[in-house]
Amino acid sequence: MNLSNRQLISRAALAAPVCLSLLAAACSEAGGRDSASAGASYGVITTVQPGAVATTEEDSADVPTTSEGTGTGTSSSTGAAEETGAPGEEPQGEPSDSGPKFDLGDSPEPADTEGQADKPCVKIDLLFVVDNSSSMKQEQVNLVASFPTFVSEMQDQLADAESLHIGVVSTDDYEYNEPGCTDTLGALVTQTGGEGSSDAVCGPYASGKRFMTQDDDLPARFTCAAQVGIDGSGDEMPIDAALAALGPDLAGPGGCNEQFMREDALLVLVIITDEEEDGSAGDPPQWFSAITALKGGIETNIVVLSLIGPKNPACKDAAEIGERLTEFTEMFTYGSVGQICAANYQMFFHDAITGIAEACGGFTPPG
């Protein structure tokens, strides 16, 4: 990482109540893991939020469940059941042509507390942090295959949200990005290159900026941007990449991420990696504080979805256990952990919709 990128991360982290030291960032072991076994299904682990819809008896029959007490939710393992998509839906559903119509359905209304929104959030910013190291080819394929159903379910269940911003970043200084944002940690991806990538220019996007919106052909655009390839560094830095992507330095006029993150939008942070987070500076409590500070200190205005190697995974030979990322994710009220080695991620994203809907329904306006 060059000096300017370290300064970039440092300035973003300084917005937090704690200071993330960038002088001694730990690095994970270089190189990647063999993802040949990633095609096997190992189920999903999710953090169940208050009021979340429980799985059906048919879905949960003969499946052992365990609970862990870290974070404000409870984590439940569904074991080795194969996931084939959201119940009642085709695995690769396309978004409705009628445009985004987000509907909270029968979700309970939030408590009437001071400063709480009178209606659900109307804006959602989704940031996908995608590991682009050598072991991530199949995982990127799984991600783009699961994305259309994820977006269509959001459109079905969150009718009040009128505006989506969707961006993708890699876990290193992405060398194939558009000129001007090449080799810049946290810069939104607009073009890809290298082995395993879509090897394409993904824009221009409808926004005229470097992020996608509801006005784009999202399955096509996301498939292009999210397949960042596998030529990246083995020293993955997903948290530093997220802090840089959401921080003020890239958000200014003419910046690589100009206008992406909005103060009055719900933030959904999605992390996809098969390695432990050893590359970013700091530790889980500091990461939590830094990310929360970027949203005005209101952690319930943030949803974190982490597809990682969870604790005691059945896929231990294909993914490193992400204990630090699990700890970070479970600090959030709306934090969910899923297995990176699952055959597909549709059920994980299907279950995550409940937490997103609750966070949106209880969104607290800034200020």
Summarize pLDDT for 220-265 with one digit per residue, the tens. Answer: 999 999 999 999 999 999 999 999 999 999 999 999 999 999 999 9
- Give the model's pLDDT for residue 72: 38
Higher pLDDT, 219 or 44: 219
DSSP, collapsed to helix, strand or coil, labels residue 85 as: coil
Identify the pLDDT of residue 78: 34
More confident residue, 79 or 133: 133
Mean pLDDT of 165-193: 97
Using an 8 Å Cβ cutoff, are 340 and 315 in contact? Answer: yes
CB 191 within 8 A of CB 201: yes
Residue 37, both tokens: 């076994």
Asked if 241 and 196 count as a contact pair (C-beta separation under 8 A), the reply is no
Distance CA 147, CA 141 (A): 10
SS3 at position 109:
coil
Name the one residue in this structure whose structure tokens are 């952990």: 337
Q: What Rg, from alpha-carbon coordinates, does the chain have?
A: 19
Q: Please state, for a pLDDT cut of 90, what percent of the chain lies above it.
A: 60
Nearest to 100 by CA among 22, 161, 177: 161
Distance CA 244, CA 100 (A): 29
How far apart, in whole angstroms, are the C-alpha atoms of residue 133 and residue 131? 6
Tell me what pLDDT residue 119 has.
Answer: 63
Mean pLDDT of 282-305: 97
The domain limits of the chain are: 3-16+44-95+117-361
User: Tens of pLDDT along 26-79?
Assistant: 333 334 444 433 333 333 333 333 333 333 333 433 433 333 333 333 333 333
Q: What is the pLDDT of residue 118?
A: 53
Alpha helices (runs of H) in 23-84, residue ranges in sequence order: 57-60
- Kindly indicate the confidence band of residue 317, based on its pLDDT and cuts at 50, 70 and 90: confident
Share of the chain above pLDDT 70, in %: 68
The answer to which of 79-83, 131-135, 156-160 has the lowest mean pLDDT is 79-83
- 156 pLDDT exceeds 70? yes
pLDDT band at 354 (very low <50, low <70, confident <90, very high): very high
163 by Cβ neighbours in 10 Å (0-12 / 13-18 / 19+) ranks as middle
- State the pLDDT at residue 268: 98
Token output for 366: 């800034």
Does the pLDDT of residue 125 top 90, yes or no? yes
Task: Quote the mean pLDDT of the chain.
Answer: 77
pTM: 0.71
Alpha-helical (H) ranges within the chain are: 3-13, 57-60, 137-157, 218-226, 238-246, 284-293, 323-330, 346-361
Query: What homologous superfamily is domain 3-16+44-95+117-361 in, according to CATH?
Result: von Willebrand factor, type A domain (3.40.50.410)
Residue 213, Cβ density class (10 Å: 0-12 exposed, 13-18 middle, ≥19 buried): middle
CB-based contacts of 113, cutoff 8 Å, min separation 6 = none
SS3 127: strand
Task: Specify the DSSP class assigned to residue 176.
Answer: T
Instruction: Give the list of residues 6+ apart from residue 328 with CB closer than 8 angstroms, or none.
Output: 239, 277, 284, 287, 288, 304, 306
Residue range 37-46, pLDDT digits in tens = 333 333 333 3
Q: Is the pLDDT of residue 340 over 50?
A: yes
Closest Cα to residue 142, out of 99, 196, 95?
Answer: 196
pLDDT band of residue 88 (cuts 50, 70, 90) is very low
**CA dihedral (150, 185, 244, 309) positive or negative:** positive
Amino acid at position 117, single letter? A
Beta carbons within 8 Å of 57's beta carbon, 6+ residues apart: none
**Scanning the structure block, which residue is given the tokens 């991806």?**
189
Determine the pLDDT at residue 318: 82
Closest C-alpha to 238, from 165, 348, 133, 346:
133
HSE-up (13 A, CA, CB side) for residue 346: 21
CA–CA dist 42, 190 (Å, integer)? 32
